[in-house]
Chain A
């Protein structure tokens, strides 16, 4: 009888030890490399609210913010101008590698946005269009939730969201295009890798008319790093528009305490581009065109 009891207890002990050892972070024994907190599935836990990276990136991923008028209207001090550090890490010059025809078109948009005469001249963000990837991730705060089969990214702005299936299914057919594209995710070690395609060509990578075509493909890497942050990297490819793939990267910090919640941001309810179009049409009729630039001289 006693032997039987001991056998049972020892069986429990063995199970318990297996459970505990399995749950212990490797670091406890190694006391070396930092280990991320993990979900019950064993993957790094990316869940929570994050600050969407560097301010000003959504205005221009090359130059931050702003043009002179914008800066004066908001009384921006020098610390609120430009980019704190380059967003584009490849190519090293930090500029989007547009093909020649595309660079010309982009410059045209930099004129058009100052005197817009049609909706296509206005920053998609001001039209409350979904901003796709990667722009949604540096436009503002985001929330990540994860299960075994899905990672969901919610954005407070315009109540946007992306659903990322993790089950290895194929992308949807090529002829369906969406603003936020179609994403598929997988884990590579501690890094969440997301491949996105099926974008439409309606939105820009920033307010500077940084457009792309529906052949855009984005590979994102999301990695939890020490200091309660996510290191985000996106490699962008579009053979119609860019001379080569290029990469931007930044770090997003965790935000919010226990009670933090997103509020509803309806966006479309307040879109009022008619004034802008009216002003633009008046200006063009009067022969006034100017380039959107952050340089002082043009003002």
Chain B
């Protein structure tokens, strides 16, 4: 798997809404010493509260594909901005930067989620990066 041991960039906190994330005990679940970058394909987007889950197929250096579960932020914030689950159909390629889970499973806490060209995955609806050109009034 393409793990790049780089420090996470400080951009794009659109996954995490400050008020909602004050509760989360990150240290108990995710490892700050195991930052991770995952490049892969969306298989499923769980649009659930209190935080959603992105499931993605990631191809490792050995060619094996592992399905990762990435914890994302509160979907109500996305709903309020006009985004819908249908804006993110399976098959989209994207990049996640975050921290691996401490329990050894292919699980991560997603800090930024972006398209390969760097555009933010969750930014806006019409015209600014949603891959499905379904018009919405």
Contact = CB atoms under 8 A, between A and B. Distances in A.
Q: Which of B18, B25, B76 has the most CB of A within 10 A?
A: B25
A26 interface: no
Interface stretch (A99-107, A120-128, A146-154): A120-128
A128 B51 CA distance: 12
Interface in A10-69: 52, 55-56, 58-59, 65-67, 69
Contact of B25 (A113, A140, A157, A265): A113
Main secondary structure of the interface of B (DSSP, over half): mixed
B23 A126 contact: yes
Contact of B50 (A66, A73, A267, A275): A267
A73 B29 contact: no
Contact of B101 (A73, A125, A275): A275
Contacts of A55: 18-19, 22
A140 B20 CA distance: 8
Interface residues on B, range: 35 or more
Contacts of B24: 70, 126
Given A114-B28, A263-B79, A279 B23 contact: no
A175 interface: no
A280 interface: yes
A114 B126 CA distance: 42
B12 to A, nearest CB: 10
A75 B28 contact: no
Given A275-B103, A283-B102, A69 B27 contact: yes
A59 B22 contact: yes
Interface of B: 8, 10, 13, 16, 18-30, 32, 46, 48-53, 71, 74, 76, 79-80, 99, 101-105, 107, 109, 111
Q: Which 5 A-B pairs have the closest CB atoms?
A: A270-B48, A279-B102, A69-B27, A278-B103, A279-B103
5 contacts: A73-B30, A74-B21, A75-B10, A267-B49, A275-B103
